[in-house]
Structure 1
Amino acid sequence: MRHRTKTHLLTKEQIDDLFKRAEVGRLGTFSSNGFPYVLPMHFVYVDNKIYMHGLPKGKKIDNIKFNSNVCFEVDEMLSLLYEGVENPCDVNTEFNSIIVEGKASLVSDFDEKKMALSSIVAKFTPHLVDKELPSKMINGTAVIKIDILECVGRYYK
């Protein structure tokens, strides 16, 4: 491990802030064919868990059923650090990132699904937060929950 990955760690508060302001994270799953599968997902971070939603069928759902071990990644590139740099190999990036290892599951409890979907509405479409979510939509939507086992946030400035 490079030295700065050990010394440039985000605090719990900085991790929480990045989870709250980031709109897209990347979900990594295992496919039954042995290949990893990574896709961008909108998400919310609630009570130290990550929630995402989508169609109830498809590759990500199949993969989670096959193997619940997942990785989730969030990052933000703040700028390129090239001022005063004469060698292209010395250009660096100012960033914040989070890497999670966890267990994914499909949420079946109606109240938990409703809470997760309401949190997604509040984050992405706050002007619709007063609208009631139809039970049919809640029941027909897949909600994926990641229980976080390990979470590391890093930065570079």
Structure 2
Amino acid sequence: MRHRTKTHLLTQEQIDNLLYRVEIGRLGTYSQDGYPYVLPMHFVHFDNKIYMHGLPKGKKIDNIKFNSNVCFEIDEMLSLLYKGVEDPCDVNTEFNSIILRGSASLVSNLNEKYRALSKIVEKFTPHLKDKELPEKMVKGTAVIKIDILDYVGRYYK
């Protein structure tokens, strides 16, 4: 294990803040053809779970039904660290990141779907958070939940 992976760990407060602030994460699933499948997704984090939404059909849905084990990654690149560096191989990146593993499922409980979609609206379109979500839209939207197994947050600066 590289030295920095042991010493550059985010605190729980920093992890919580990053999960709140960052808007896009990358969902990694297993495909039936044996290849990994990774795609960017808007998300919210609450109750120690990750929630995402999307179309009720497609490769990510098929993959989750095939194998519910997933990973999820978020990051933010803050800057390139090259001041005073003369060797291109010594340039580094200031960043924060979280990698988590968990079990994904499709939310079928209507109350849980409403709550997750309301949190998504609140995060991404707060000016619309007091608008009622149409039941037809809620029923027709896939909500994916990741029950978090474990995670690690790292930084470098």
Q: Answer yes or no: same fold by TM over 0.5.
A: yes
The residue that corresponds to 1:10 in the other structure is 10
Q: Which residue of 2 aligns with 1:21?
A: 21
Give the secondary structure class of the aligned counterpart of 2:122.
helix
Cα-to-partner distance string for 1:92-131 (whole Å, 9 max, x where unaligned):
0000000000000000000000000000000000000010
Does residue 36 in structure 1 map to residue 45 in structure 2?
A: no
Partner amino acid for 2:46?
V
C-alpha distance in 2, partners of 1:145/1:79? Answer: 32
Paired letter, 1:71: C
Residue deviations 1:63-111 (CA, integer Å, cap 9, x gap): 0000000000000000000011000000000000000000000000000
Letter in 2 for 1:76: E
Q: What aligned pairs does 1:91-106 form with structure 2 within 5 A after superposition?
A: 91-106=91-106
Aligned identity (percent) is 80
- Calculate the aligned-residue CA RMSD, in Å: 0.4
Aligned length: 157
- TM-score normalised by length of structure 1: 0.99
Alpha-carbon distance, 1:47 to partner: 1.1
Q: Which residue of 2 aligns with 1:107?
A: 107
SS in 1 for 2:85: coil
Q: Alpha-carbon deviation of 1:142? A: 0.2
Letter in 2 for 1:47: D
Please give the alpha-carbon distance, in whole angstroms, between the structure 1 residues aligned to 2:63 and 2:129: 32
Structure 1 residue aligned with 2:140? 140
2-structure distance, mates of 1:113, 1:32: 27
User: What's the secondary structure of 1:85's corresponding residue?
Assistant: coil
Aligned to 1:122, what secondary structure does the other structure show?
helix
> How far apart are the structure 2 equivalents of 1:102 and 1:10?
19
CA distance in 2 between partners of 1:16 and 1:146 (Å)? 16
- Alignment partners' CA distance in 1, 2:87 and 2:5: 23
Tell me which residue corresponds to 2:127.
127
Which runs of at least 4 in structure 1 moved beyond 3 Å after TM superposition? none
Letter in 2 for 1:84: G
